[in-house]
Amino acid sequence: MRFEIVGKNITITDPMREKIEKKLSGLQKYLLIDGDTTARVVARVYPNTQKIEVTIPSKVGILRTEVEQQDIYSAVDIALDKLEDQLRRQKTRLNRRHRDSLAESFILEEEAEDVDIPVKTKSIVAEKMDLEEAIMQMELSNHDFYIYTDDESDRISVVYRRNNGGYGLIETE
Q: How far apart are CA 78 and CA 101, in angstroms?
A: 35
Instruction: Give the model confidence (pLDDT) of 123-132 as tens digits.
Output: 888 899 999 8
Averaged pLDDT score across all residues of the chain: 82
| pLDDT > 70 fraction of the chain, expressed in percent and rounded | 83
Q: Flag whether pLDDT at 148 surpasses 90.
A: yes
Contact between 64 and 88 (Cβ < 8 Å): no
Cα four-point dihedral sign 120, 121, 122, 125: positive
Higher pLDDT, 94 or 144: 144
Q: Flag whether pLDDT at 107 surpasses 70.
A: no
pTM recorded for the entire structure: 0.53
* Domain ranges across the chain: 2-100, 128-171
Q: What is the third-level CATH fold of 128-171?
A: SHC Adaptor Protein (3.30.505)
Report the amino acid identity of residue 90. Answer: Q
- The domain 2-100 having CATH identifier 3.20.20.220: the answer here is no
Report the amino acid identity of residue 8. Answer: K
Q: How far apart are CA 5 and CA 16, in angstroms?
A: 10
